[in-house]
Amino acid sequence: MLIAIPDVLSPVELARVRALLDAADWIDGNATSGAQSALAKRNEQLPEGSAAAREAGGIVLDALGRSPLFIAAALPLKVFPPLFNRYGDGHSFGTHVDNAIRMQRGSDFRIRSDLSATLFLADPDSYDGGELVVEEQFGDQRVKLPAGHMVLYPASSLHHVTPVTRGRRVASFFWIQSMVRDDGERRLLFELDHAVQDVAGRHGHADPAAIRLTGVYHNLLRRWGDA
């Protein structure tokens, strides 16, 4: 399931994150690459343990915790501390799949990467190219969102970033271990959650149909979820 989540960052949060990133020192993006990715990756990255990365990552994590759409779609158990990259003229990232297990450097924190996330931090009119292309069963999905908006997609997907030919593409990227490992099961729960909210919105949360649907949702989450 690929889903766009609008307005993850407020304008104030976005401005603060960009100020931190614009003033920071950047390194080669292969600092966190696996063997396959290193062959295809041409970009820059904010050092993982830098003060700017920690502060900006904290802002992103706080914003995710306030996003009902993110929580409903991801059912997050653990979120990898957000990383930050930028693509200048000629930079790109060839087709690859993300590592199944992600480990934070210098700690014992690790997650199973069920979902990948890209949070766009640059106005799409400020750069050419730089589209995230996710290969799905029924065709490629090309994603280039407004600054502050985010896309979630299965980490098992083949994906790439097209070459940037003007300006700079700036983004945060990270991975989520979901309480529900299977993408198809997460999709069903997400759709059921929307149905519950629709019925409750039209008839009230005390409506018998809303109560029954809520029970089905939680019983499926109990069956499929790990916490």
Find out whether 159 is annotated in a ligand binding site. yes
Strand 76-79, strand 169-178: pairing: antiparallel
Find out whether 226 is annotated in a ligand binding site. no
Find out whether 218 is annotated in a ligand binding site. no
Find out whether 123 is annotated in a ligand binding site. no
Going by the annotation, the residues of the binding site for Fe cation are 96, 98, 159
Going by the annotation, the residues of the binding site for 2-oxoglutarate are 169
Going by the annotation, the residues of the binding site are 96, 98, 159, 169
